[in-house]
Amino acid sequence: MYFTYLARIFVPAEIGQYVFALSFTLIFSVLIDVGLGYVLTTEVAKDKSRAQEYWQNTIGFKLIAIAGTIIIAWVAINLMGYSGLTRELVYISFIIMVLDSFMLSAYSLIRAYQNLWWESLGTVLFQFIVAIAGFIITQFTRDLRFIILALVLAGLVNVTYSWNRLASFGIKLWPKFDSLVIKKLLILAWPFGVALLLTRLYGYSDTVLLSWLAGDAAVGYYSVAYKITFAWQFIASAFAASLLPGFSSYFAGDKSLLVSTFTKSVHYLNVISFPLAAGFFVLGPAVIRFIYPQYQAAILPLQILIFSLVFIFLTFPVGSLLSAGGRQKRNTLNLLITVVISVALNIMLIPQYQAVGAAVASLVSAVIYFILGWSVIHQLIQVSYKQIIFNVFRVGLSAICMGIIIKVLQPQLNLLLVIFIGMVSYGIFSLVLKSFSMAEIKNFKRLIFSRG
């Protein structure tokens, strides 16, 4: 919501500078964490007595890594020839990067105590402060250097809050520098660090390349389309998190139940992603004109990107299955191949097609990652591809029928009313075509909210 508010105030080039600065530093932030967050959670969960030692040496290492990372990022942004304002935004983002790293370490250790409440509350607190501070700042200035300070303030409050919560567990917060402990932690962390780096490159390299090769306005248009598309990703992410414990249990004990649960999870995610793709493809122009009137050039990138949502949704249950089956290295290899192809496609397409080229590269990359993941499925379980294809046909037909109704009604009715009618019609078509039933809706809710 905060991004939407800013996009309605600032022109595409300004939003492009803002998004680029954050994306640029998010990639470099991997050099600070290097996967230590995962190590803190997993290793301390196994042995709580090591919490103090691992925490203090993690912070000790990060103090050194922060200095090195800032120097590397400073050299990189200056070599890339950006304007003074863009460089200044990146410099301010360095502060956000450092705060986020300290916050990540604190919450990673708190997770080891199987307490997610404090992190959830911290996330809400962070978003609340960003929204309030951002709104107040924009009433006095349109200077992006001050606007981005809303994130700095929220990050500072969240770090203070998370470290205070950590202290309540009896953890002493000051750093230590035990070379043997740090070496052990880094050996454990590097596979996670590589996976994290690839994930960041996959998620943000397109924005950086778009800024470098096509300019700030192109980033602004692309960011609007990207935000609309990937705002829905949390559904698949939450669903996959609920699947992993069950997949791990079924993999060891009941393969038939594993196959059944995997097939159902794929079907349920299709039931959600297909209407989203069809709806935004048809209504994309109206949505952009209604919410982002300055961003008409984002329409085509949105209509392209929205189809990647279908493939991205399906990579989540595949990732959970590969993790449950001990194929994390294969998943990392798949991600590496996808990142290389994504970067190459962006370099080829952006100079001529700008935001549209980045959208095409993103869609193709999502399809490739999907194919690479699914190519391993048969090594772990024997699924009925005939059943999956039949389910896809029914869901796809329901979504197409919904899209046709929306297309016909859109010129005549209010946008919100058209969306409501579209949702109702999709439900009716789905029930008629039996792409889902009321029993499956209940089963979907059970999968989401069950703790396995």
pLDDT tens digits for range 268-298: 899 999 999 999 999 999 999 989 999 999 9
What is the average pLDDT across 187-207? 89
Confidence of residue 225 (pLDDT cuts 50, 70, 90): very high
pLDDT score of 215 more than 70: yes
Residue predicted with more confidence, 440 or 452: 440
Contact 447, 242 (CB under 8 A): yes
Contact 50, 254 (CB under 8 A): no
Contact 15, 220 (CB under 8 A): yes
The rounded mean pLDDT for the chain is: 88
Confidence of residue 216 (pLDDT cuts 50, 70, 90): very high
Question: How far is Cα 349 from Cα 351, in angstroms, rounded to an integer?
Answer: 6
Above pLDDT 90, what percent of the chain?
Answer: 52
pLDDT (0 to 100) of residue 114: 67
What is the average pLDDT across 253-258? 78
Please count the residues of the chain.
452
**Tokens encoding 107:** 């919450």
Question: How far is Cα 194 from Cα 286, in angstroms, rounded to an integer?
Answer: 41
What is the average pLDDT across 339-344? 95
pLDDT tens per residue, range 377-429? 888 888 888 888 998 999 999 999 999 999 999 888 898 999 999 999 999 99
pLDDT (0 to 100) of residue 213: 93
Give whole-number Cα distances, 96 to 12, 82, 164, 367, in Å.
23, 20, 19, 33
Confidence of residue 69 (pLDDT cuts 50, 70, 90): very high
> Exposed, middle or buried, 259 (CB in 10 Å: 0-12/13-18/19+)?
middle
Confidence of residue 101 (pLDDT cuts 50, 70, 90): very high
Q: Compute the half-sphere exposure of residue 80: CA atoms within 13 Å on the CB side of its CA.
A: 22
21-25, 92-96, 97-101, 331-335 — which is least confidently predicted?
331-335
Residue from 56, 63, 150, 152 nearest 106 by CA:
56
Contact 377, 266 (CB under 8 A): no
Contact 310, 273 (CB under 8 A): yes
pLDDT (0 to 100) of residue 424: 93
Domain range annotation of the chain = 1-198, 215-452
**HEC secondary structure over 223-242:** HHHHHHHHCCHHHHHHHHHH
276: amino acid identity, one letter: L
What is the average pLDDT across 423-441? 80
Confidence of residue 452 (pLDDT cuts 50, 70, 90): very low
Confidence of residue 231 (pLDDT cuts 50, 70, 90): confident
Question: How far is Cα 281 from Cα 142, in angstroms, rounded to an integer?
Answer: 33
> Exposed, middle or buried, 82 (CB in 10 Å: 0-12/13-18/19+)?
buried
pLDDT score of 446 more than 70: no
pLDDT (0 to 100) of residue 250: 77
Residue from 204, 234, 117 nearest 165 by CA:
117
pLDDT score of 117 more than 80: no
Q: Which DSSP helix (H) or strand (E) runs through 186?
A: helix 179-214
Contact 6, 15 (CB under 8 A): yes
pLDDT score of 451 more than 50: no
pLDDT (0 to 100) of residue 397: 94
